Structure 1
Amino acid sequence: MGMEPDGDAEARRTLPEPLRVGLRVLRDYRPTLGRLRALLRSMVTSFVVLSLTLWLLPGVTASGLVAMLWLVGLIAGIGAVLRPLLFALSTALGGLGALAIGVCVQAVVMYVALRLDPEAHVRGFADAFAAAWLAVALAAILNWLADAGTDDAFVSEMLWVMNRVRRGPARHRRPAWHRRGAGGAPPERQTADALLVVQLDGVAAPLVQWAIRAGNLPTIGGWLRSRSHRMTHWHTGLPATTPAAQAGLLHGEVRRVPAYRWYEKATADDTASRLMVTSRPRDAAEVERRLSTGQGLLRDGGVSISTVFSGDAPTSLLTVSRAGLPGRSTRGYAAFMASPYGFARAIVRGAGQVVRELYEARRQRLRGVQPRGRRSGSYLALRPMASLLSDLNVSLIAEQMAGGAPVIFCDFLDYDEVAHHAGPARPQALAVLEALDQTLGILQRLAAEAARRYHIVVLSDHGQSQGATFRQRYGESLAQVVARLAAPTVRPTAPDGRPGPPTPVREAATAEAAGPVEEWGRVNTLLTEVAGRGGATGTATRVAVRSHTEGGEVTLGPADEEAAAATRTDPETVVVASGNLAMIYLPRHPGRLTRERVDALVPGLIDGLAAHPGIGLVVVDSAAGPLAIGARGCHNLRDGQVDGDDPLAPYGRWARQDLLRHQAMDHVGDLVVISAVDPGLEEVAAFEELVGCHGGLGGWQTEALLIHPADWPQEGELVGPEAVHGQLLAWLRRLGLRRPDEHPDERDDPAGRTVDPDVGDA
């Protein structure tokens, strides 16, 4: 297509933004057999769905073929008319008000159409409500049977959201430097660069590489085969968890986050002991306070979406540390809830996923698949939230791209949650990975209509490793093992007067934190923000969750119960698990204890743990430096000296550096335990009840993903999330999106190397 005359281009720029977008769509449109087939299928689907709905529901009727066709047209037309009004109302209400509008919008459209059709009849709004949601479910099933559905309707809805943002009232618009490119050029020219960072939570780089070679990820595979992007990997280090990774990625600092959860002993300044859980908003806020220097990755006009920490972003949406439910001014949230292609699509998909989880769980049991975990309870109840949050993330990203946010960082949690329970390479987890690839394709399409030229970087925070859990293998939890080994003993006197063998008096009082807290994090974030608001929405939420609220924070899930057990029962030991990493504390003794001190206080605990077949390493400080102790050998992490068999051998070349750096973090346990790893299968044994896990060492859990534009330089091997933070900063400077630091920080190292000079490459 040739260059258009300047006059025509200028005339086009004076047109309203929705018309300009429509003209661009028409310009790029090419009639194809596939599009014609999709159009015909859409018409047939609407007709079939309405016919089935009216047949199944006795309270709703329509007489004859003409009446049915007229009803199809009425529903489409009334939806187009009412949608802007419903969107405006949901924007004004915000929070659960928008959710209520989203639930009712289909029923409103159906009811009005039935009332206007002279050949149709509906008994009342309740029947219209049932008909609307039955129609949504039937349409989803028919689309899935045809070709698993398309994203065209959802993308069109998101483009509509972007248009509303761009042409909204002046008081809601972004500043001019957000809306326009360099020199004041109109948004459609996309002369200014911007960065969209998409985090695929828990996705291992080797798994993505295999899926691309199998042809299962067409979006990412297309980028790589066209040479527009390059795929590499980075080593996460220890701990391999989302909070630690995001602390490094967003703030360039991981020393404050030794695991997903940890115990902090009481100190001399009267600071009480406590269990910190990063999925709790108040704990995440406290950790971010320790992390933040004001120089985070997103400080210059950036946006954090669905993250644990904010990266100092001025705008934080669904961010745990800020309990960041999008507010009244967030159009993407309101439009998603009010949209038939947003909330309704997520509900139907979520219901289908619950059914599939039940089917796959039964199928695993019948086939005797091992290892496998329980896929019921809270996981099954929260499974639909993953679909809803994924589509909501897309809506929020679309809004921020329309407003011209210079940097957007969003975390998609879907794969990680499913892989925990199904296994990281099982068909269900791979299906979610394919859906995430589809989401990347949607974001790429939306970026073409954004106010800036968005470059897409895709990364993961860690991978996952598979294996039967510690309890499944050995019939008891790690906490029970610790309680037995730490039991106080007496030495009875034998008849001949000599002391007898040590005899346990009782098991040691042990508190355990190993419950499924991660899956509750985003739910508590949503509800905490809503409950903190005024008006009917906030009041209704506070009443609904009043028995699970503490200090204004919603605390569903086991985190608060575990915290109470660890701090109010005066335990002798506290065992805190994060995947196949566990930290053991002796809370009655201040400070971090050395091996000599632990052996004096609890004789046999360290040696007993190291000899257990499910434990590969016990790491403890000593007078000679940190030691990694195995069943048949000991590795001094400071000088690299090994006595006996090297216990680090099964854990890869970075194990020594990872463990040494972990020992330097705040609030590390008196003992750090890593499960054994099978050298052939690379399976580990999680101390939580998860067949797919991360947090420690072994397998793919430390092999994270990084995909970036092919012409962007990457210097050196990326080791640790701080290194990726430095690389992202270098790319931001390359795009002109990073202002010079007022106080240069040594973390901003674009070379991306974090190898300790005392350790080397280990």
Structure 2
Amino acid sequence: MHTLLRRVRAVLRSALTTFVVLTLTLWLMPGVAGTDVVDTLGLVVLVAGVGAVLRPLLLLGITALGGWAAMLLGVVTQIVVMVVALRFDPGNRISGLPTLVTAAILAVIVAALLDWMADAGSDDTFVREARRLMRGIRRRSTGRLLSFRRPPPGTDAGLLIVQLDGVAEPVLRWAIRAGNLPTIGHWLRTGSHTVRGWHTGLPSTTPASQAGILHGASRQIPGFRWYEKETGKVMVSNRPRDAAIIESRLSDGRGLLRDGGVSISNAFSGDAATSLLTVSHAALPGRTARGWAAFMASPYGFTRALVLGGAEVITELYQARLQRRRNLQPRVSRSGAFLALRPASMLLRDVNISLVAEQMARGVPAIYCDLVDYDEVAHHAGPARPESMRQLESLDRMLGVLGRLAPEAARHYHLVVLSDHGQSQGPTFRQRYGETLDELVARLAEDVLVVSSGNLSMLYLTRFPNRLSQEAIEHAHPDLIRGLASHPGVGIVVVQGKDGAMAYGSAGSHRLSDGTVIGIDPLIPYGPRARADLLRHQLAAHVGDVVVISSVNPETQEVPAFEELVGSHGGLGGWQTDAMLVHPASWLVSHDLDGPDAVHRQLVDWLVMLGLRTADPALPATSPSPLETGVPARLSPVRES
């Protein structure tokens, strides 16, 4: 009875919304005669009838084509339904194909805005559509095609891991204490989950962290981008062709998601059975991804996201103007490509949640999904600025959506939320010192390639086939190391000396192999883990001949990025190495979470605990030794109460 009443309410609401949409559309269209109520009611019925016939047919087409065709047909579907209905309007008020198409587009936009306002800006409509998708998938999987009864919730365990890209642990804790993250805050206050920090090490970038978390192989990646002397090629980890090459080096068949898991919107697959929107696989979801097709075809999916994305662009223009008028510092330009990133990130977020919902309905054992909204905005606005926090709040809301969808899942999913790194704020190197790092290096030496990731930069002397020692670098370019170390915008310069890796600053040096310091220790501003971080980074594949970390302000913890970003990550200093992990409070944490490889081992342990994976004898059973990490290992497991 309850189901029937809910369906009746849904039908009545749909009819009322369609009536209002059509009335407003006809009123806004120039040259359209009166808007007779009876004719409009007839048109409402016609829209419902045309939609009932055409949408399933178009959905089949979208599912069959997949990929980019699904995106195109997803928009066309809504317009086609409205064009056909208006063509057979009982009042014959609109004629001519161009006018019909214009009216249909206007109606689709108005419908999306009305539905959003009717739900008070919430995600209720989105949730209803996702539930409908999940129930349909589960009915098909159980052979109950003709049943309208809700399938019973799954009881077997599953693990859903959601990555909130770029969210530092201090930022998360502050937002929880401010009451701005009601979903995560509720988990912590009720004791179902606990939050802890983990240290990313160097480089503090998404590709390096995901190489570690998903494959246990973070040392394969020395930065977001780097140069390979063997091939003479600059590798960029978010470029699909490069990501595919990188994954072939990472993968040993024992990735985090190897046993039937699903990778959604990540850099790498983690050896998942299914990869959706994963950079290394360089393809949009295909015919088997019903969640992709359903999102594209639904009026509450792609079309809604496009309309609200347009509003996001207007919001971004206003926020950027507000920063300029208030002369807020530090700041960078927020125009150009970033204007497109705001709505694109929101669209990707909704697509990702739809894909996660589909996989939960299918009952896959493990899902790992990356949500990038906060990171993208924080790069240009600043990691703790209001617009960035607004994105974090929207991600918290998405976690709430996943909680509302959980009863429809084919498994009982345990939810783990983590980040891959944090962000550090500061004016850019160019803004503070009047020149870029590339220009500084060009003054000190010729023929040196500078490759930067946030406030980490690697310098390559490209005419030499192998990595050079300090002696060889000084012979080729006598002023390079000394000139960099003495610059106020440079905090650390690392090279390979006679006795191992050496870190130089403006007033002293630190021999990383044994901790010997001469003069003022250049590592002090970067915290107690800096020595271990730099040592590990020196062991990474394709690390530069010279590694440069920008200075850090000891009072504000600001760092000047070598890229034009007000919020940056990749190196050391500030919050960029302070990632977070939210997990069920009763779960044992048996590893010192120093570095993404350690997080990988912990997640594997939890998969084994849930019965979703057999123990892998090739993986270390305990934390790395103190000699490897440079910090004391925990002597006993930690259990959160």
Per the TM alignment, residue 96 of structure 1 is displaced from its structure 2 partner at its CA by: 2.5
Provide, for residues 465-493 of structure 1, a one-character-per-residue CA deviation record: whole Å limited to 9, x for no partner: 1111111111211011001011xxxxxxx
Counterpart CA distance in 1 for 2:492 and 2:123 is 48
Counterpart CA distance in 2 for 1:680 and 1:144 is 44
1:704 corresponds to which letter in structure 2?
A
Percent identity for Structure 1 against Structure 2: 60
Provide, for residues 280-319 of structure 1, a one-character-per-residue CA deviation record: whole Å limited to 9, x for no partner: 1221111111111110000000111111111111111111
Per the TM alignment, residue 61 of structure 1 is displaced from its structure 2 partner at its CA by: 5.7
Which residue among 299, 309, 319 is the counterpart of 1:340? Answer: 299
Which residue among 142, 152, 170 is the counterpart of 1:206? Answer: 170
Per the TM alignment, residue 668 of structure 1 is displaced from its structure 2 partner at its CA by: 0.7
**Does the CA-based 8 Å contact 1:258-1:668 persist in structure 2?**
yes
2:468 corresponds to which letter in structure 1?
L
Per the TM alignment, residue 115 of structure 1 is displaced from its structure 2 partner at its CA by: 4.1
Provide, for residues 344-370 of structure 1, a one-character-per-residue CA deviation record: whole Å limited to 9, x for no partner: 111012111111111111111111111
2:428 corresponds to which letter in structure 1?
T
Match in the other structure for 2:56:
84
Match in the other structure for 2:395:
436
1:195 corresponds to which letter in structure 2?
L
Match in the other structure for 2:25:
53
- Do the aligned partners of residues 297 and 391 (structure 1) sit closer, same or farther apart at CA in structure 2, a change above 3 Å counting? same
1:206 corresponds to which letter in structure 2?
P
Match in the other structure for 1:177:
none
Q: Does 1:383 align with 2:342?
A: yes
Counterpart CA distance in 1 for 2:509 and 2:374 is 37
Which residue among 105, 124, 137 is the counterpart of 2:77? Answer: 105
Partner SS for 1:585? strand
Match in the other structure for 1:421:
380
Match in the other structure for 1:556:
none
Counterpart CA distance in 2 for 1:65 and 1:332 is 37
Q: Does 1:634 align with 2:509?
A: yes
Provide, for residues 70-123 of structure 1, a one-character-per-residue CA deviation record: whole Å limited to 9, x for no partner: 444543554344332221121112222222221112222223333454235221
Match in the other structure for 1:361:
320
Q: Does 1:722 align with 2:593?
A: no
Match in the other structure for 1:746:
619
Provide, for residues 214-244 of structure 1, a one-character-per-residue CA deviation record: whole Å limited to 9, x for no partner: 1111111111112111111111000000000
Match in the other structure for 1:585:
460
Q: Where does 1:550-569 land on structure 2 (aligned, <5 Å)?
A: none
2:484 corresponds to which letter in structure 1?
L
Q: Does 1:733 align with 2:598?
A: no
Provide, for residues 113-159 of structure 1, a one-character-per-residue CA deviation record: whole Å limited to 9, x for no partner: 33454235221444343333323433454566677522121112112
Match in the other structure for 2:487:
612
Counterpart CA distance in 2 for 1:165 and 1:42 is 23
Counterpart CA distance in 2 for 1:730 and 1:62 is 68
Counterpart CA distance in 1 for 2:503 and 2:562 is 19
Counterpart CA distance in 2 for 1:187 and 1:729 is 30
Q: Does 1:296 align with 2:255?
A: yes
Partner SS for 2:219? coil
Q: Does 1:129 align with 2:101?
A: yes
**Does the CA-based 8 Å contact 1:727-1:752 persist in structure 2?**
no
Q: Where does 1:176-191 land on structure 2 (aligned, <5 Å)?
A: 188-191=152-155
1:432 corresponds to which letter in structure 2?
Q
Q: Where does 1:65-464 land on structure 2 (aligned, <5 Å)?
A: 65-72=37-44, 74-76=46-48, 78-119=50-91, 121-142=93-114, 148-168=120-140, 188-266=152-230, 272-464=231-423
1:263 corresponds to which letter in structure 2?
Y
- Do the aligned partners of residues 708 and 81 (structure 1) sit closer, same or farther apart at CA in structure 2, a change above 3 Å counting? farther
1:746 corresponds to which letter in structure 2?
L
2:103 corresponds to which letter in structure 1?
A
2:619 corresponds to which letter in structure 1?
E
Per the TM alignment, residue 724 of structure 1 is displaced from its structure 2 partner at its CA by: 0.6
Provide, for residues 424-475 of structure 1, a one-character-per-residue CA deviation record: whole Å limited to 9, x for no partner: 1111111111111111111112221011111111111001111111111112
- Do the aligned partners of residues 212 and 81 (structure 1) sit closer, same or farther apart at CA in structure 2, a change above 3 Å counting? farther
Q: Does 1:703 align with 2:575?
A: no
**Does the CA-based 8 Å contact 1:49-1:138 persist in structure 2?**
yes
Match in the other structure for 2:499:
624
Counterpart CA distance in 1 for 2:23 and 2:216 is 58
**Does the CA-based 8 Å contact 1:111-1:122 persist in structure 2?**
no
- Do the aligned partners of residues 25 and 649 (structure 1) sit closer, same or farther apart at CA in structure 2, a change above 3 Å counting? farther
2:74 corresponds to which letter in structure 1?
G
**Does the CA-based 8 Å contact 2:591-2:602 persist in structure 1?**
no
Root-mean-square deviation over aligned CA pairs: 2.7
Counterpart CA distance in 1 for 2:397 and 2:625 is 34
- Do the aligned partners of residues 430 and 77 (structure 1) sit closer, same or farther apart at CA in structure 2, a change above 3 Å counting? farther
Provide, for residues 184-214 of structure 1, a one-character-per-residue CA deviation record: whole Å limited to 9, x for no partner: xx96241211111111111111111111111
**Does the CA-based 8 Å contact 1:720-1:754 persist in structure 2?**
no
**Does the CA-based 8 Å contact 2:423-2:576 persist in structure 1?**
yes
Per the TM alignment, residue 752 of structure 1 is displaced from its structure 2 partner at its CA by: 4.7
Question: What runs of 5+ residues in structure 1 fail to find an aligned partner?
Answer: 1-22, 30-35, 174-185, 267-271, 487-507, 509-571
Q: Does 1:760 align with 2:634?
A: no
- Do the aligned partners of residues 757 and 112 (structure 1) sit closer, same or farther apart at CA in structure 2, a change above 3 Å counting? closer
Counterpart CA distance in 1 for 2:475 and 2:395 is 52
Counterpart CA distance in 1 for 2:463 and 2:374 is 40
**Does the CA-based 8 Å contact 2:112-2:300 persist in structure 1?**
no
Match in the other structure for 2:529:
654
Partner SS for 1:373? coil
Provide, for residues 516-568 of structure 1, a one-character-per-residue CA deviation record: whole Å limited to 9, x for no partner: xxxxxxxxxxxxxxxxxxxxxxxxxxxxxxxxxxxxxxxxxxxxxxxxxxxxx
Counterpart CA distance in 2 for 1:61 and 1:194 is 58
Partner SS for 2:383? coil
Match in the other structure for 1:594:
469
1:220 corresponds to which letter in structure 2?
I
Partner SS for 1:255? helix
Q: Does 1:679 align with 2:529?
A: no
**Does the CA-based 8 Å contact 1:201-1:411 persist in structure 2?**
yes
Counterpart CA distance in 2 for 1:740 and 1:758 is 24
**Does the CA-based 8 Å contact 2:591-2:598 persist in structure 1?**
no
Match in the other structure for 2:636:
none
How many equivalent residue pairs?
A: 628
Counterpart CA distance in 2 for 1:227 and 1:39 is 40
Match in the other structure for 2:637:
none
Provide, for residues 228-278 of structure 1, a one-character-per-residue CA deviation record: whole Å limited to 9, x for no partner: 111111110000000000000000111110101111113xxxxx3211111
**Does the CA-based 8 Å contact 1:281-1:320 persist in structure 2?**
yes
Counterpart CA distance in 1 for 2:52 and 2:392 is 33
Per the TM alignment, residue 678 of structure 1 is displaced from its structure 2 partner at its CA by: 0.8
Q: TM-score, normalised by structure 2?
A: 0.92
Per the TM alignment, residue 746 of structure 1 is displaced from its structure 2 partner at its CA by: 3.1
Q: Where does 1:482-493 land on structure 2 (aligned, <5 Å)?
A: 482-486=441-445
**Does the CA-based 8 Å contact 2:43-2:90 persist in structure 1?**
no
Partner SS for 2:579? strand
- Range that drifts further, 727-736 or 47-56: 47-56
- Do the aligned partners of residues 695 and 209 (structure 1) sit closer, same or farther apart at CA in structure 2, a change above 3 Å counting? same
**Does the CA-based 8 Å contact 1:301-1:407 persist in structure 2?**
yes
